[in-house]
Amino acid sequence: MSGSIDAAEFARLLEELEDPARRCFLSGQGRSGLVAGMVAMRLMHIGRTCHVAGEATAPAVRRGDVLIVISGSGTTPASVRHAESARAEGATVIAVTRPGGGALAGIADLTLRIPAGASAQLGGNLFEQAALIALDGLVNALAAGVPDARGRLRRRHANL
């Protein structure tokens, strides 16, 4: 990976997600969608109301919500559509994408650029791995403000 995540972008995202009452939506396709699911799970564990776009139980996104769209290319049609729809509803859209960020970065209110270019791995592996580490870092930073976050995770963890 060349370069690093921009500290100001990371801080801006943290600020946007500071309000524990704010609903979060996550979106991504393929492996980027799996990263979205992992991040949504941890946000739920620390007490957030969080949904994964496209899941049967996800409600409508509305003004005041935050949608985080994960897409290395920034051009995956479903991801771009989710960003457009959420913007049209008045939600805040956060793009997690490579520098450049395709159409997605142009739609988003905020972007976290993940400097994961070509690598010896298959497909977009490096982006997907790096995006997960960055977003786990974001959740850990949010968890620091949650009283007894570890206990909360234990109590909220799936048991079925």
Ligand X SMILES: O=C([C@H](O)CO)[C@H](O)[C@H](O)COP(=O)(O)O
Tokens of 109: 């209110």
Is 31 a binder of ligand X (CB under 6 A)? yes
Is 32 a binder of ligand X (CB under 6 A)? yes
- Closer by beta carbon to ligand X, 79 or else 111: 79
**How far apart, in whole angstroms, are the C-alpha atoms of residue 109 and residue 95?**
8
Annotated catalytic residues are: 128
- Closer by beta carbon to ligand X, 77 or else 147: 77
Q: Which of 45, 51, 52, 72 forms a contact with ligand X (CB under 6 A)?
A: 72
Interacting residues with ligand X between 81 and 120 (CB under 6 A): none
- Closer by beta carbon to ligand X, 29 or else 111: 29
Q: Is residue 147 classed as helix, strand or coil in its secondary structure?
A: coil
Exposure b/e, 58-84, CB count within 10 A at least 16 = b: eeebeeebbbbbbbbbbebebbbebbe
